[in-house]
Amino acid sequence: MHNKWVSTEHNLSFENNDLNAYYSKIINGTFEAGKVFITFEGSEFIIKNQNLEVKLSWTYLFDDLNIILNPIDTNNYPNPITLKFV
């Protein structure tokens, strides 16, 4: 299984090629040139770095195979972030 989602506008990408991560609902990726991972719980997402510091969080939804993130940080991210499935 190999899936990838990208937002070039926000230097954010996630790649799921690890079945263990898939079943634990964790997808590894990069954000602002650093390693991060995203988790989904209910209708919320959390992006954390390797030190477990929260980088972005709040709600998400799916648009077909794309993921739309609605970060709580509306000052830096006034619009939703679309992660396009590639």
More confident residue, 84 or 24: 84
Percentage of residues in the chain having pLDDT higher than 70: 93
C-alpha distances (whole Å) from 78 to each of 36, 64, 74 are: 21, 23, 4
pLDDT of residue 16: 86
Q: Return the amino acid letter for 47.
A: I
pLDDT of residue 22: 65
Cα separation of 30 and 46, whole Å? 14
pLDDT tens, residue by residue, 11-42: 999 998 876 676 777 899 999 889 999 999 99
For the record, the structure tokens of 15 come out as: 């790649």
In Å, the largest CA–CA distance within the chain is: 36
For the record, the structure tokens of 45 come out as: 């997402």
Give the pLDDT mean for 56-75.
Answer: 94
Whether this prediction's pTM lies above 0.85 is answered by: yes
Spell out the domain ranges in the chain. Answer: 3-85
